[in-house]
């Protein structure tokens, strides 16, 4: 790590805390399964909260379970500088997706304490609820409600595959806060995250200066055919929902590939009913998502996909119910906040490049209300949403030091 500052975060403490957090939901393959609002998530949240309080931070929880840990500034009239990420994970997630930003935020707070720094503005560390969307099928949930994109009521009514709603799960783990999640005035938001893709590693860059997030659209699809006997139903009588779904999945892949290197199209979840070897499937439910840096391209995909999927359903003599769950426009980040990240990398002598985020992040919704920027660090083989996700301690330290510098510069800026 670069010695170009005498205000250093503690890289070893950061790494140790990341490994401590990774114990909650640790999987045999070295990853993490910390699904949102489960008891494992509760344990991770409790650990985070205890450590925030031990660092002298005042923790509050909103109605979506978003956690806010505040450190006062010298001037209480100034708006807070926010930073954070998420502690929930995918079912086969890694140790760093989300956790890096939250635990690095904790290290920023601890370092401010150790260095005896009182910032001009208050600073506030956030753990957003359910960034991943893997349990209730809706990503960026806590930040989305906070930003006013979705109502708390609507999100709390979403149920997981066992029928447990978000609202019930929040109460069950003791993280249903009293105040409705809503944006409050803030001066800036910074989020440190692993890149989750291959670009920084391939170019040997230590830091990604994130200029914005790409557009996306998500659907829920239900194909309904007819259950019938596998051995007796001849081809003309089959209404096979899975065959139709398979052709629609192939359509998603073809539409993605038609858009070249920038195209993204995924079916990641699929339920087959009745899921019996000798019954022609009568119903298939699945997710569809497309992403692209160019918002106009998402508009074209959203016009084309329902129409072409409908043709496939008609040819297969099944019905298709397609619900657009959400559409997120491309979100540019705030030039002044991005500049603070750029300046921090220069000051520290770190190699860096500008980058558009391929993954979705809470920062994309926060940016609708608060000037926002993100910082990326490389990850091994560009791999994420995988238990093998891995970063080096010095990469985490460099990212955290950039976060520290950007937060400090913003919180102490002349108004
Ligand atoms: C979040 O991890 C996403 O990009 O879907
Ligand atoms: Mn993430
Ligand atoms: Mn993720």
Residues 178-222 pLDDT 10s? 999 999 999 999 999 999 999 999 999 999 999 999 999 999 999
Residues 121 and 173 in one domain: yes
Q: Is the pLDDT of residue 298 over 90?
A: yes
Candidates 262, 255, 264, 267; CA nearest to 304 is: 255
Query: Is the beta carbon of 98 within 6 A of some atom in ligand 1?
Result: no
Residues 229-280 pLDDT 10s: 999 999 999 999 999 999 999 999 999 999 999 999 999 999 999 999 999 9
Candidates 131, 33, 115; CA nearest to 404 is: 115
Read off the pLDDT of each residue in 10-29 and give the average, rounded to a whole number: 98
What span, in angstroms and rounded, lies between the C-alpha atoms of 233 and 398?
A: 62
Residues 68 and 182 in one domain: yes
> Which phi and psi angles does 204 have, rounded to 5°?
65, 30
Please give the number of the atom of ligand 1 that sits closest to the Cα of 289: 5
Q: Is residue 2 part of a domain?
A: no
**Confidence class for position 4, pLDDT limits 50, 70, 90:** confident
Residues 339 and 253 in one domain: no
Mapped to the 3 state alphabet, what secondary structure does 175-232 carry? Answer: CCCCECCCCCCCCEEEEEEECCCCHHHHHCCCEEEEEEECEEEEEEEEEECCCEECCC
Q: What's residue 3's pLDDT?
A: 54
Query: Is the beta carbon of 132 within 6 A of some atom in ligand 1?
Result: yes
Residues 239 and 273 in one domain: yes
Residue 51: give its domain's CATH number. Answer: 3.40.630.10
Q: Which residue has the higher pLDDT, 1 or 81?
A: 81
Query: Is the beta carbon of 214 within 6 A of some atom in ligand 1?
Result: no
| Residues contacting residue 252 through CB under 8 Å, at least 6 positions apart | 265, 266, 267, 288, 290, 305
Query: Is the beta carbon of 359 within 6 A of some atom in ligand 1?
Result: yes
Query: Is the beta carbon of 130 within 6 A of some atom in ligand 1?
Result: no
Residues 79 and 133 in one domain: yes
Of the three residues 299, 326, 353, the one that is the final residue of a domain is 326
Q: Is residue 1 part of a domain?
A: no
Residue 194 C-alpha to ligand 2 middle, in angstroms?
A: 8
Residues 34-81 pLDDT 10s: 999 999 999 999 999 999 999 999 999 999 999 999 999 999 999 999
Read off the pLDDT of each residue in 371-382 and give the average, rounded to a whole number: 98
Q: Is residue 101 part of a domain?
A: yes
Domain range for 224 is 215-326
Determine the residue of 35, 287, 360, 383 to mutate for testing ligand 1's pocket, defined as the one with the most ligand atoms within 8 A of the Cβ atom.
360
Residue nearest to atom 3 of ligand 1 (CA): 360
Residue 101 C-alpha to ligand 1 middle, in angstroms?
A: 14
Q: What's residue 6's pLDDT?
A: 87
Residues 61 and 208 in one domain: yes
Q: What is the mean pLDDT of the chain?
A: 97
Residues 169-178 pLDDT 10s: 999 999 999 9
> Angle, nearest 10°, between helix axes 393-411 and 11-22?
110
For the residues of 281-314, what is the DSSP string, one character each? --EEEEEEEEEESSHHHHHHHHHHHHHHHHHHHH
Asked if 323 and 219 touch (Cβ cutoff 8 Å), the reply is yes
Q: Is residue 4 part of a domain?
A: no
Residues 142 and 291 in one domain: no
Residues 227 and 239 in one domain: yes
Residue 253 C-alpha to ligand 2 middle, in angstroms?
A: 24
Determine the residue of 144, 268, 289, 359 to mutate for testing ligand 1's pocket, defined as the one with the most ligand atoms within 8 A of the Cβ atom.
359
- Which ligand has the shortest distance to the CA of 133? 1
Residues 106-145 pLDDT 10s: 999 999 999 999 999 999 999 999 999 999 989 999 999 9
Q: Is residue 5 part of a domain?
A: no
What span, in angstroms and rounded, lies between the C-alpha atoms of 216 and 327?
A: 6
Residue 180 C-alpha to ligand 3 middle, in angstroms?
A: 25
Query: Is the beta carbon of 241 within 6 A of some atom in ligand 1?
Result: no
For the residues of 26-49, what is the DSSP string, one character each? B-TTS-B---TTSHHHHHHHHHHH
Residues 367 and 312 in one domain: no
How large a percentage of the chain has pLDDT more than 70?
99
Helix (H) / strand (E) containing 22: helix 11-22
Please give the tally of structural domains in the chain. 2
Query: Is the beta carbon of 67 within 6 A of some atom in ligand 1?
Result: no
Residue nearest to atom 2 of ligand 1 (CA): 132
Asked if 215 and 329 touch (Cβ cutoff 8 Å), the reply is yes
> Which residue(s) pair with 58 in the sheet?
70
Residue 98 C-alpha to ligand 3 middle, in angstroms?
A: 7
User: pTM (2 decimals)?
Assistant: 0.92
What span, in angstroms and rounded, lies between the C-alpha atoms of 40 and 373?
A: 30
Residue 242: give its domain's CATH number. Answer: 3.30.70.360
Query: Is the beta carbon of 360 within 6 A of some atom in ligand 1?
Result: yes
Please give the number of the atom of ligand 1 that sits closest to the Cα of 359: 4
Residues 112 and 147 in one domain: yes
Please give the number of the atom of ligand 1 that sits closest to the Cα of 384: 2
Q: Which residue has the higher pLDDT, 138 or 88?
A: 88
């Amino acid at each position: 790590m670069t010695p170009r500052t005498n205000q250093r975060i503690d890289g070893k403490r950061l790494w140790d805390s990341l490994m401590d957090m990774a114990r909650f939901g640790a999987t045999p393959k070295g990853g993490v399964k910390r699904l949102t609002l489960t008891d494992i998530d509760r344990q991770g949240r409790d650990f985070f909260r205890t450590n925030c309080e031990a660092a002298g931070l005042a923790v509050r929880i909103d109605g979506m379970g978003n956690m806010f840990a505040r450190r006062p500034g010298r001037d209480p009239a100034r708006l807070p500088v926010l930073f954070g990420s998420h502690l929930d994970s995918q079912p086969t997630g890694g140790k760093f997706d989300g956790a890096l930003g939250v635990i690095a935020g904790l290290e920023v707070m601890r370092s401010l304490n150790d260095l005896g720094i009182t910032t001009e503005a208050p600073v506030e560390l956030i753990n957003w609820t359910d960034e991943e969307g893997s349990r209730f099928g809706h990503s960026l949930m806590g930040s989305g409600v906070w930003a006013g994109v979705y109502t708390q009521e609507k999100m709390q009514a979403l149920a997981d595959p066992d029928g447990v709603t978000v609202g019930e799960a929040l109460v069950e783990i003791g993280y249903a806060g009293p105040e409705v999640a809503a944006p409050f005035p803030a001066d800036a938001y910074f989020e440190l995250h692993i890149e989750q893709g291959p670009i920084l590693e391939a170019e040997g860059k230590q830091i990604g200066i994130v200029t914005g997030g790409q557009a996306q659209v998500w659907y829920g699809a239900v194909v309904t055919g007819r259950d019938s006997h596998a051995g007796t139903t001849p081809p003309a009588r089959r209404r096979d929902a899975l065959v139709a779904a398979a052709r629609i999945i192939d359509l998603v892949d073809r539409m993605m590939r038609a858009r070249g290197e920038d195209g993204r199209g995924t079916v990641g979840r699929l339920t087959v009913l009745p899921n019996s070897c000798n019954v022609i499937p009568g119903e298939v439910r699945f997710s569809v998502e497309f992403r692209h840096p160019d918002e106009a391209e998402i508009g074209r995909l959203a016009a084309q996909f329902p129409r072409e999927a409908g043709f496939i359903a008609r040819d297969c003599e099944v019905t298709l119910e397609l619900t657009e769950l959400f559409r997120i426009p491309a979100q540019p980040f705030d030039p002044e906040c991005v500049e603070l990240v750029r300046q921090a990398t220069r000051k520290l002598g770190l190699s860096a490049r500008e980058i558009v985020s391929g993954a979705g992040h809470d920062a994309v919704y926060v940016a609708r209300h608060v000037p926002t920027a993100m910082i990326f660090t490389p990850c091994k083989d560009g791999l994420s949403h995988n238990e093998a996700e891995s970063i080096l301690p010095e990469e985490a330290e460099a990212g955290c030091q950039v976060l520290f510098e950007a937060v400090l510069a913003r919180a102490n800026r002349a108004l």
